[in-house]
């Protein structure tokens, strides 16, 4: 315990020291390379060397904290919290728990069945399943780091809203019969309970560290690639280039098109957000771009293929349709309010 606390104190101090000197670092890199701000290459390089360390620092810090928080919200615990909750309250709770419960799309199916077999209603289960991948700490950290807290908060609020409302709608449609037959058979029997493991604080710190290695280890190439593309757009694409395609002057169908293009794209928030930031800098409308981002993250083809093992086609179609409508609505509202 003591070595962990000392290590964390040192790491924390170091973190804040570095975070406070990011601009100086990027300026120094520019100077060392003999470049000047204001030129295309200078702006691009500065963008890259300012944003990369910033995002990686923010990400490591938050992911560590989330790794610790998640040890308090095992899927088993979340299920216990949700079972027996009424529709409505249950949807709100499910979407919120989706943020803090560890989730990976490879566990989506066991989780789905686990929830249903504990008596969590189908619509509430979907609220969780929509919120968990879409409203995650990686997306929020990147939005916060690149756009500031307002956009991050809006994304959080609207992401939760989409998950809650989509879950309510799916619940209303009463599509339980579109679960695969073997799932329905399991649901009539009772599954044995696994109570979960006892954890000490050292276990939780370890879990946080493991989370950092797992998440940051996985996403850093995407972040660097994303920021590099973003940097190129930042330096070289002319101002207002995006305004006619994805901006305020774009025709109404640019938003549905952006959502549609997002579905087969499967990248994590880490890769897409730096590109998105650069696009917005060039005149793309925030709502269109956020909708695009949500559809890339929340509606992914691989996840639907996994879910096909437990859901029949009409239910998957309803899921995708309802979520897509929610995202579209978010995009239009955003463009209307901010435009």
Partner 1 sequence: MKDIKVLGTGCANCRNTIKLIEEVAAEKGVAITLSKVEDLPEIMKYGVMSTPGVVVDGKVVHAGGVPDRARIAGWL
- Tokens at 97, concatenated: 């728990």
Looking at 53, 102, 281, 321, which residue binds partner 1 (CB under 8 A)? Answer: 102
Least Å distance, CB 102 to partner 1, is 6
Check residue 287 for interaction with partner 1 (CB under 8 A): no
291: CB partners within 8 A, 6+ apart: 255, 258, 259, 262, 327, 328, 330, 331, 334
Q: Is 311 in the site for partner 1 (CB under 8 A)?
A: no
DSSP 93-155: HHHHHHHHS---GGGHHHHHHHHHHTT--HHHHHHHHHHHHHS-HHHHHHHHHHH-HHHHHHH
String of DSSP letters for 193-250: P-------HHHHHHHHHHHHHHHHHHHHHHHHHHHHHHHHHHHHSPTTTTHHHHSTTS
Q: What is the DSSP string of 43-103?
A: HHHHHHHHHHHHHHHHHHHHHHHHHHHHTT--HHHHHHHHTTPPTTHHHHHHHHHHHHS--
Question: Pick from 26, 82, 113, 164: which binds partner 1 (CB under 8 A)?
Answer: 113
Q: What's 265's DSSP letter?
A: -
| Of the residues 19, 309, 338, 339, which one makes contact with partner 1 according to CB under 8 A | 309
Least Å distance between CB 128 and partner 1? 11
Nearest residue (CB) to partner 1, 193 versus 240? 193
Contact 164, 92 (CB under 8 A): yes
316 binds partner 1 (CB under 8 A): no
Out of 92, 95, 97, 111, point to the residue binding partner 1 (CB under 8 A).
Answer: 111
Q: Which of 7, 110, 221, 314 binds partner 1 (CB under 8 A)?
A: 110
Residue 55 or 310: the one with the smaller Cβ distance to partner 1 is 310
| Residue found by looking up tokens 């995650």 in the block | 136
Q: Among residue numbers 204 through 223, which ones bind partner 1 (CB under 8 A)?
A: 206, 210
Nearer of residues 53 and 102 to partner 1, judged by Cβ: 102
Q: Tell me if residue 287 falls in helix, strand or coil.
A: helix
Count other Cβ atoms within 10 Å, centred on residue 75.
21
Binding mask 56-75 toward partner 1 (x if CB under 8 A, else -) reads ------------------xx
Please, what's the b/e burial string for 96-126 (b: 16 or more CB within 10 A of its CB; e: otherwise)? bbbbbbbbebeebbebbbbbbbbebbbbbbb
Under the binding rule (CB under 8 A), the answer on residue 106 touching partner 1 is yes
The residue among 151 and 183 lying less far from partner 1, judged by its C-beta, is 183
Q: Which of 122, 107, 117, 123 is nearest to 168 (CA)?
A: 123
Which residues between 72 and 91 bind partner 1 (CB under 8 A)?
Answer: 74-76, 79
Q: Which is nearer to partner 1, 7 or 302 (CB)?
A: 302
Tell me whether residue 148 or residue 196 sits nearer to partner 1 (CB atom): 196
CB of 46 to partner 1, least distance (A): 36
Name the minimum Å distance from CB 146 to partner 1. Answer: 29
How many residues bind partner 1 (CB under 8 A)? The answer is: 27
> Smaller CB distance to partner 1: residue 107 or 244?
107
Nearer CB in complex with partner 1: 193/249: 193
Site membership for partner 1, residue 192 (CB under 8 A): yes
Residue closer to partner 1 by CB (options 111, 130) is 111
CA–chain centroid gap for 218, Å, is 14
The contact set with partner 1 (CB under 8 A) reads 74-76, 79, 102, 104, 106-107, 109-111, 113-115, 117, 182, 186, 191-194, 196-197, 206, 210, 309-310
């Amino acid at each position: 315990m003591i070595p962990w606390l000392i290590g964390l104190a040192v790491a924390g101090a170091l973190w804040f020291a570095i975070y406070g000197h990011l601009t100086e670092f990027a300026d120094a890199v520019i100077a060392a390379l003999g470049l000047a701000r204001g030129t295309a290459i200078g702006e691009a390089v500065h963008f890259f060397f300012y944003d990369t360390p910033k995002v990686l620092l923010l990400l490591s810090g938050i992911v560590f904290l989330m790794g610790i928080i998640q040890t308090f919200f095992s899927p088993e615990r979340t299920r216990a919290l949700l079972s027996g909750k009424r529709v409505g309250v249950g949807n709100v709770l499910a979407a919120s728990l989706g943020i803090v419960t560890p989730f990976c799309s490879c566990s989506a199916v066991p989780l789905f069945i686990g929830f249903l077999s504990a008596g969590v209603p189908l619509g509430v289960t979907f609220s969780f399943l929509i919120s968990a991948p879409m409203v995650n700490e990686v997306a929020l950290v990147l939005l916060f780091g690149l756009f500031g807290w307002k956009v991050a908060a809006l994304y959080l609020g609207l992401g939760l809203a989409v998950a809650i409302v989509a879950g309510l709608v799916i619940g209303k449609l009463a599509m339980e019969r579109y679960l695969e037959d073997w799932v329905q058979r399991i649901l009539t029997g009772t599954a044995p309970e696994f109570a979960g493991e006892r954890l000490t604080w050292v276990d939780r710190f370890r879990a946080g560290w493991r989370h950092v290695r797992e998440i940051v280890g996985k996403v850093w190439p995407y972040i660097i690639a994303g920021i590099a593309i973003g940097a190129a757009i930042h330096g070289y694409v002319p101002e207002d280039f995006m305004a006619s395609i994805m901006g305020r002057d774009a025709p109404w169908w640019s938003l549905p098109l952006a959502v549609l293009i997002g579905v087969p794209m499967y990248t994590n928030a880490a890769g897409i957000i730096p590109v998105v930031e650069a696009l917005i800098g060039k005149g793309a409308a925030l709502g269109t771009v956020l909708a695009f981002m949500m559809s890339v993250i929340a509606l992914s083809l691989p996840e639907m293929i996994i879910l096909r093992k437990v859901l029949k086609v009409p239910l998957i179609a309803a899921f995708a349709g309802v979520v897509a409508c929610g995202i579209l609505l978010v995009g239009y509202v955003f463009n209307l309010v901010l435009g």
